[in-house]
Structure 1
Amino acid sequence: MTSEDVVKVEELPPDARVLSGQRYRKYLYHTARVGVWTFYCYFLARLLLILSEAQRPWQMWVMLAVEGLFGRLSYQDQCLTVAAGGEPERGPRKRLRLRGSQNLPRVDILIPCCGEPANVILDTVRSACMMDYPLSQYRVLVLDDGASSQLHDAISELHSKWPHLSYHTRGRQSGRVFAKAGNLNYALFTIQKDVPPDFCAILDADSIPKPEFLRATLPHLLVSPQVALVTTRQYFDNLPAGDPLSQSRRHFYTCQNAELDRCGRAIDAGSGAVFRRKAIIDVGGYPTFSFSEDWQLSLILRGMGYRTVQVQEPLQFGLVPTSLEGHIAQRNRWHIGHSQQVFALRPPANRSMPRHLQWSIARGGLAITLGLVGHIIGFGAVPCLVTSRSLIPASSSFVIKAQVILSMFYVSTLWAYGWLQNAHAGIRGSPFSQLENSWLAAVHLYAVIRFHFISNAPKGSFVTGSRENSWNRIAKSSVYKIESLPTRFLTTMAWPPLLHICYLTITNHWVPVAYLLNPPVYPARIS
């Protein structure tokens, strides 16, 4: 009998906020289904009507394309909700606790770092060493790619108090040898070679775990052998009031990843992940073809038949960048990592993955990068569309009325789904928060192009960021004559999807303006 057969797992009462949101599940599911079908019907009807016109000005095609560019994000969320199902009992994930001290699995806490302030790293180290878990059953491994003598000495001093703590380094790497992925693989394949643990947990240098971290995450791996990785939602100590830059990524954790979790396909967001070591070894360790090694590992595990799940509980607290430049630099790094997914097709990344999985990962990265182009085109086209007078076919009053009614129904489903999505997740805010930081699309695309075609390495630190910035260029507009005033408004400025897109454009691009006019105050971490 293995330890997994005898450990005691207790189920805790569900979180009140999450539980209250479940009453919206069926409404959300059915609204998503209606939204998906409306998406198909609406764009098919719009396409056929444009094709039936004798004259098809380019503005009609641009309007249709822009509607599709902005509509696809809600459509993707709706498809995800439909795939996750409408049964409330399938979610949210249960709150579990590992009880007792006997027969518990062996765990290594891996803390990769490279040049972060020593005091920040040591705060994380101390918290990791004081977890509610038998000291004989877990180790804390500090993996320092900065080769800091100060950190080495501090860890040596703490080792006398906590013998399960140790310091390791590959020498001063500064990210040159596969960066964080290489650092973690060094632990998996070298440090742990003689004494391999059953499970590993990853903590970023600034992410302080709660004492019950292991007891709250390990049960999800123990009760289901098919689960290879548990990722936890990231919370932050220094998040400013109102979260003006959407640094908490609430929509990702509570909407998108929560739906993926219901399907057993959650995306690892980095810090706070706990995984079955054998599964990671079997897929070749952390992938080294991308900066977003955590995201890519999730895709590989899912493609190899494993399940990945997310725990929503607040089990770790990190730090967000405290400047606009640092925030932009962090997001640039993520998008560079996604753009690198195409490298999954080339050796040595393809040794442990079937060809179809390589293509799937590459297509996903290409789609995310092209999404940046879509946002630039979409936002840039708005001023031109607002002043245009040939947005939709207007050959007869019936054609106009049919399109306006259909468009109003389509836009209504977008808003209804957005509000229900927030209510189901138990959050407040815009019903289109999946567009968070879309105003940075041009900056991200510039960073991707600069990385791949100008330099082999990102310029500047990903912590402090670059002061470079780029913005959309507003296209010039053309004016066409329309007969009646009501028709002019309904087919141009008052076209419902255009009003919807104008709302998205204004609210998203107001974010940096509001930040500059009223800079947020980032609270200090309480030690």
Structure 2
Amino acid sequence: MLQCLSIKPRHRPRLRVVGDHVPMVDVFITCAGEETEVILDTLRAAAAVDWPRDRMRIVVLDDKKSDEVRREVELIGLKNSSIHYSARTKIKGMPHHFKAGNLNGGLKYVSTLEGEKAEYIAALDADMIVESFWLRAIISHLITEPQLALACPPQLFYNVPKNDPLYQNLALFFGILEAVKDSIESAWCTGSGYAIRRSALDQIGGFPTGSVAEDVYCSNLLLGAGWKTCYVHEPLQWGTVPDSFSGHIKQRARWTIGTVQTSAKLNFFLYGRICRGMSFLHRFCGFVFTLGTISTVSSTASLLMFPIVLVSGYRLVAYADNDQLKWLIRLAFFSLFINRINEFIAFTPVGYRFAWRGNLGTLWMAPYHAVAIVRSFVLPSWLGGAMASFASSGSIDSVINERDARDRAPLVRRLRVILLNGGVLIHVMYILFTAGAVASSLVRTFTTTADTWQDRLFYVLTHAGWPPLVWLVASVACTVPIKYAVDPPAMPDREDLLQRDKDTLIAHPTEGAKRARWGKSNLLHEGFYVLITAYTTAIFFGSWFVK
């Protein structure tokens, strides 16, 4: 639906602030238990950006109050007076508001510093290494457009494994969806690397609390207040994805909960004072994305219905007569054909392989999103309902070190942790249940009262063989986390992915680490999709010859 509204693409020019007569900027680096060296790499890169040192202040906001982080930051600060360390006081029993509370603590801290009040606030996650031209690229858009409150770049990653088995690259989200939202002037904050106009932030009362997705909440409050936001589609920062299955699941569950929390706060973008300044497209965009998130519950239920219907002996498609069945087959073909054309065209900017991997990721991740929503917003506490606790992605350690080829846990322990603790057992059960349902349906083909080959063919087509074999696509998607548990990708140490200056210790990802890497196994996914397409095409042509 959003694609239909964004036929005219948004081509934002690449702007740069030039010279030393620049506005004052406060840069916040939020951390909450990440490795000290990861935080320091982000700090060193931020301190080395091409921006006059007397026109910026960098504040490390440490929500874990680490003595080691404080010592190292203060040591670097001895050579750079623009670097500061701050750790807010958190009173036990009082709400801390997670990252939003940490950022608001940063606002309070800079208000105590001497000197000029910053016109802009920029924020970085603890693991995001910025390019030297980051501020000159981001701030330029805010300077040239006075009504613009927020400018945000994509999050890019340098530690994505070969073939990206869990779909952690997020190329579709940052390369397609965010650009589409920007084309209808509904860009959302991407969580790191962004810059925000301080006057606009003060107008909405600082960084909003009440949602673990404070970035999405903040950008929508700005839109509701009549400000504009933009998406700067440039490679300006490079970070890390969770290096464990459990970290990946927890991160995505947090995003899901945050999206629903934010939408609920905004009355699902439908009405209220808080949405008063939003246009129809702003509201429509927010509602559609929320609907897409919540629909994972119904998607999970619908995937379960396929094997249930098959094992019950019912048809997967309803029709009145054979002529109607033939036209339904043709419509199924046209639907698949148009969808494939759309994939080739729409996903060209990021690469077609990401599209197919993203589709698989959507299917096997659906149960996790659904469980997160049901537990957080539906079930009472006595039935297991609970809001997921916040933990930054970089602070989640793996108990099995599955991506360390030298130190990973044995196969049996990996299977126990990922299948049982990680919930992948449900994917195994789904595959077995579906296989049994399909087998029983095929056996039933020869035990029914059908006498002719055409009757048996129609029985198969309307049951297990209905194109495009959605049950098979879902089953293949469910093998992704199972394969990951059996054969996880091996990744080098983080240091091997960086190019570090021996004198300054400033590190940036190598060019090889920035690029997506694909192996031959990736062709299996596309080969499977080709077979599904060929099968549907064959059924389509056959429908013209069968009476």
Q: 1:232 aligns with which of 132, 135, 153?
A: 153
- The CA distance in 1 between the partners of 2:340 and 2:284, in whole Å, is 31
What is the one-letter code of the residue matched to 1:295?
V
Does 255-264 or 387-396 show the bigger shift? 387-396
The answer to which of 486-495 and 157-166 deviates more is 486-495
List gaps (5 residues or longer) in structure 1.
1-78
In the TM superposition, what whole-angstrom CA distance separates every residue of 1:161-188 from its partner, at most 9, and x where no partner exists?
Answer: 1111111121257995101001112223
Deviates more, 1:172-181 or 1:470-479: 470-479
1:445 aligns with 2:370: yes
Q: Give the structure-2-normalised TM-score.
A: 0.72
Map 1:370-389 onto structure 2 (within 5 A): 370-386=294-310, 388-389=313-314
Q: 1:167 and 1:226 mapped to 2: Cα distance? A: 32
Distance 1:352 1:164, change over 3 A: farther
**Paired residue type of 1:509:** C
**Matches of 1:448 and 1:430, distance apart in 2:** 25
* Larger RCO: 1 or 2 (CA < 8 Å, sep 6+): 1
Show the counterpart of 1:523.
492
Name 2:403's counterpart in structure 1: none
- Specify the alignment match of 2:457 in structure 1: 486
How far residue 294 of structure 1 moved from its aligned partner, in angstroms, is 0.8
Letter in 1 for 2:331: L
| CA distance in structure 2 between the aligned counterparts of 1:118 and 1:93, rounded to whole angstroms | 36
State yes or no: 1:203 paired with 2:124.
yes
Residues 341 and 362 in structure 1, CA contact (< 8 A), matched pair in contact too: no
Map 1:348-427 to 2 at 5 A. Answer: 353-354=274-275, 367-386=291-310, 388-427=313-352
How large is the Cα RMSD of the aligned pairs? Answer: 3.2
Alpha-carbon distance in structure 2 between the residues aligned to 1:239 and 1:447: 25
Aligned-pair distance for 1:193?
Answer: 6.7
Give the drift of 1:150: 1.9
* Inter-partner Cα distance in structure 2 for 1:226 and 1:115: 36
Report the Cα distance in structure 1 between the residues aligned to 2:272 and 2:464, rounded to whole angstroms: 54
CA distance in 1, matches of 2:11, 2:285: 27
Secondary structure at the counterpart of residue 353 of structure 1: helix
SS in 1 for 2:17: strand
Compared CA separation, residues 423 and 173, structure 1 to 2 (3 A): farther
* Inter-partner Cα distance in structure 2 for 1:508 and 1:327: 17
2:100 matched to 1:146? Answer: no
Per-residue CA deviation, residues 380-423 of structure 1 (Å, 9 max, x unaligned), is: 12323456452333332221122222222122111211121122
For residues 482 and 304 of structure 1, the distance between their equivalents in structure 2, rounded to whole angstroms, comes to 67
Moved more, 304-313 or 427-436: 427-436
Q: How many Å separate the matches in 1 of 2:390 and 2:192? A: 23
What does residue range 247-396 of structure 1 map to in structure 2 within 5 Å? 247-341=168-262, 343-344=264-265, 353-354=274-275, 367-386=291-310, 388-396=313-321
- Indicate the larger mover: 447-456 or 250-259: 447-456
**Identical-pair percentage:** 30
Question: For residue 111 of structure 1, what is the aligned residue in structure 2?
Answer: 29
Residue of structure 2 aligned with 1:134, choices 48, 52, 58: 52
Displacement of 1:494 in angstroms is: 3.2
C-alpha displacement of 1:359: 9.6
Q: Give yes or no for contact 2:186–2:285 (8 Å, CA) kept in 1.
A: no
What secondary structure does 2:15 align onto?
Answer: strand
- Partner secondary structure for residue 112 of structure 1: strand
**Range moving further from structure 2, 245-254 or 192-201:** 192-201
CA gap of 1:369–1:216, structure 2 versus 1, over 3 A, is closer
3-state SS, counterpart of residue 98 of structure 1: coil
Aligned to 2:101: 182
- Is residue 502 of structure 1 aligned with residue 432 of structure 2? no
Seen in structure 2, the aligned counterparts of structure 1 residues 306 and 359 have a Cα distance that, compared at 3 Å, is closer
Q: Distance in 2 between matches of 1:255 and 1:365?
A: 14
Shift of 1:238: 1.5
Which residue does 2:142 correspond to in 1? Answer: 221
Provide the C-alpha distance between the structure 2 equivalents of 1:326 and 1:354, rounded to a whole number of angstroms.
Answer: 34
The answer for the alignment partner of 2:406 in structure 1 is none
Distance 1:173 1:81, change over 3 A: farther
TM-score by length of 1: 0.75
Residue aligned with 1:95, SS: coil
Query: How many pairs are equivalent?
Result: 440
Contact 2:376-2:386 within 8 A present in 1 as well: yes
Distance 1:252 1:503, change over 3 A: farther
